[in-house]
Amino acid sequence: MYRYNAGMNSLSQRLGIFGGTFDPIHFGHLALARALRETFALPQVRLIPTGLPPHRDAPPVSPQQRFELVQLALAGEPGLVADDREIRRSGYCYTIDTLAEIQRENPQAVLVWLIGGDSFLNLQTWRRWRELLDAGHMVVAARPGFDFSALPSDLAEEFAVRTVLASPGTAEKGRISVLPTPLLPFSSTEIRARIARGEDVAALTPVADAIHRAGFYR
């Protein structure tokens, strides 16, 4: 578990950020985190389960329980760390607040943060969305066939002037890169539905046994 310590040294150069509900975390999430780490040569990627998300209903499993599942899933994964800051925060969790907090803790680091393609399409609905564009290096996880022409005009203009190839040498505040991702045949929603039907999900999530023992999503 990552918990901020005011006495720790700031991480240098680049720090990966991957937030989400992780409801539950699955192998697709791990593949994305690894791809972010490897593409940008990141010493660390922090997976940050959200506490109370502003854009969807509260997940059925508590923030602490989801965080513990993320911790379990990351065991033995070099450079991938669970960060509990959002589940300790009261009220809604906004990405701009989280990035600002991490930047204050690591003033020399470029925050390389991952956002899903569908979320990117709706970025203008996010709190202080224009500030998000300058808060770090935004990495859009885009599935095959993702239609960037569907971006709203204001966002499309920003995307056009800010986009650079994804590589360690391009990590820079205010830039956007696209990280191609495979089209997975499952999602957290599908996993929850399968669990509710009593199906085995061991091939979909590394925490299937823990979910089964705890009786989550039934």
User: Is 69 inside a domain boundary?
Assistant: yes
- Would you state the pLDDT for residue 8? 33
The structural domain count of the chain equals 1
Give the separation between CA 149 and CA 110, rounded to whole angstroms: 28
User: Is 112 inside a domain boundary?
Assistant: yes
What is the DSSP code string of 138-204?
EEEEE-TT--GGGS-HHHHHHHHHHB---SGGG--TT-EEEEE----S--HHHHHHHHHTT---TTT
Cα three-residue angle 184-185-189, rounded to 5 degrees: 95
User: Is 64 inside a domain boundary?
Assistant: yes
Q: pLDDT over 70 for what percent of the chain?
A: 93
Give the separation between CA 133 and CA 136, rounded to whole angstroms: 7
- Would you state the pLDDT for residue 6? 34
Structural domain for 22, as ranges: 14-185
Helix (H, G, I), strand (E, B) or coil at 90: coil
Q: Which residues contact 211 (CB under 8 A, 6 or more apart)?
A: 24, 69, 195, 201, 205, 217
Average of pLDDT values for 136-155?
A: 94
- Would you state the pLDDT for residue 145? 85
Write down the pTM of the prediction: 0.90
User: Is 178 inside a domain boundary?
Assistant: yes
What sign results for the dihedral spanned by CA atoms 180, 78, 80, 200?
positive
**pLDDT confidence of 50, banded at 50, 70, 90?**
very high
What's 74's domain CATH number?
3.40.50.620
Give the separation between CA 51 and CA 23, rounded to whole angstroms: 11
User: Is 153 inside a domain boundary?
Assistant: yes
- Would you state the pLDDT for residue 51? 87
The tens digit of pLDDT for each residue in 82-103 reads 999 999 998 888 999 999 999 9
User: Is 203 inside a domain boundary?
Assistant: no
User: Is 205 inside a domain boundary?
Assistant: no
The tens digit of pLDDT for each residue in 26-41 reads 999 999 999 999 999 9
Mean pLDDT score of the chain: 91
User: Is 194 inside a domain boundary?
Assistant: no
The tens digit of pLDDT for each residue in 157-189 reads 999 999 999 999 999 999 999 998 877 778 999
